[in-house]
Amino acid sequence: MKLHIALLPGDGIGPEIIQQGRKVIRAVANRFGHELHEREALVGAAAIDATGNPYPDETHRLCMESDAVFFGAIGHPKYDHDPSAKVRPEQGLLAMRQRLGLYANIRPVTTFPSLVRQSPLQSHLVEGADFLCIRELTGGLYFGRPQGRSEDGNTAYDTCVYTRPEIERILRLAYGYALQRRKKLTVVDKANVLATSRLWREIAREIEKEYPDVETEYMFVDNAAMRLIQSPKSFDVMVTENMFGDILTDEASVITGSLGMLPSASIGLHTSVFEPIHGSYPQAAGRNIANPLAAILSAALMFEYAFRLPEEAAAIRQAVAASMENGIVTEDIAPAGSPSYATSQVGDSVCSHI
Ligand code: IPM
Ligand code: MN
């Protein structure tokens, strides 16, 4: 198969982890006989420095022309200390989500046997936890208008907006995943307070009837935050709106023991984007110490969701597991007293298993 991939390394550790992901993608293409076409473009602070725009039109064009986008990370500390900065790298991410129509962000949370003891939660709670968080990504507070300040500057407002088509689309996607898994869907909202959440719940109650094989559970977001920690194994597929999903997925990421392990897929109307959920980790940039496994596992999601090549995806996951079992891991997940390896060594090890 011909695979056209747009590479958007971005900022901080983005370039070095994307480099490891590329090696793994190449190894898979060689083993399975695919023809790779890779092109690189600017995004984030790197794009602001070069063009003044964190998501330049040229980058957008490349994304639109590709079968999938492999994304590193964006964010640079020089913008964090300057809240008045006119353009921020994060705006590039939001613009990309909007322009590519990335309406669903999928974050699988799975535990790795060799990492269970590193979770801040007790092993018996996390062992075997395996669920999908599906976050709506182009609506809600992030994009609702009006947003801003009053003239005197002393009042600020954001608007949470959801329309029926947006809600139906994400719920149907979530049911689709639930059907392929353990057939349980948890709809997370704040319907006891918010009008948008009440619309979510009303629509979910209608759609629920079309999926009699799936058990639908409704949960308020505050309760969901508690249950994630108390009994992560009780979840199969969780679906929620943009801001709740942002918060809950960071929370869910610690269940597995390291933020450095979690991949994500953003399903788009035009093309889909695959990226690790961790950020640009500027303190580690250029030091060859960052954990490349979240990026490598994001490449596995790319083979599965964008190219519909599940065997290739499985080969990557098996190689990651084998490499971890051999102890070839970066310092963030190396057990105390065991040696740790460089970013590039972990990438090489995964490639050798493929
Ligand atoms: C994420 C990030 C982004 C978000 C930021 C960087 C805008 O936290 O992808 O979860 O809030 O969506
Ligand atoms: Mn976030």
142 is catalytic: yes
CB 116 within 8 A of CB 127: yes
Residue type, 69: V
Going from the Cα of 75 to the center of ligand 2, the distance in angstroms, rounded, reads 12
250 is catalytic: yes
Domains and CATH numbers, the chain: 1-110+264-354 (3.40.718.10), 120-256 (3.40.718.10)
What is the position in ligand 1's atom list of the atom closest to the CA of 94? Answer: 7
222 is catalytic: yes
Taking the model in full, what pTM does it have? 0.94
H or E, element range at 132: strand 130-136
Nearest protein CA to atom 11 of ligand 1, as residue: 246
Nearest protein CA to atom 1 of ligand 1, as residue: 246
Ligand nearest to the CA of 88: 1
Over its length of 354 residues, how does the chain's per-residue pLDDT go in tens digits? 999 999 999 999 999 999 999 999 999 999 999 999 999 999 999 999 999 999 999 999 999 999 999 999 999 998 877 767 789 999 999 999 999 999 999 999 999 888 888 889 999 999 999 999 999 999 999 999 999 999 999 999 999 999 999 999 999 999 999 999 999 999 999 999 999 999 999 999 999 999 999 999 999 999 999 999 999 999 999 999 999 999 999 899 889 888 889 999 999 999 999 999 999 999 999 999 999 999 999 999 999 999 999 999 999 999 999 999 999 999 999 988 999 999 999 999 999 999
How far apart are the C-alpha atoms of 239 and 233, rounded to whole Å?
Answer: 16
- Active-site option among 190, 236, 281, 341: 190
CB 43 within 8 A of CB 55: yes
HEC string for 309-337 = CHHHHHHHHHHHHHHHHCCCCCCCCCCCC
Going from the Cα of 250 to the center of ligand 2, the distance in angstroms, rounded, reads 6
What is the per-residue DSSP string for 43-69?
-THHHHHHHS-SS-HHHHHHHHHSSEE
CB 248 within 8 A of CB 216: no
- Active-site option among 57, 80, 82, 222: 222
What is the position in ligand 1's atom list of the atom closest to the CA of 137? Answer: 12
- Active-site option among 79, 142, 177, 341: 142
* CA 198 to mean position of chain CA atoms: 26
What is the position in ligand 1's atom list of the atom closest to the CA of 93? Answer: 7
> ∠331-317-231 over CA atoms, to 5°?
75
How far apart are the C-alpha atoms of 329 and 346, rounded to whole Å?
Answer: 6
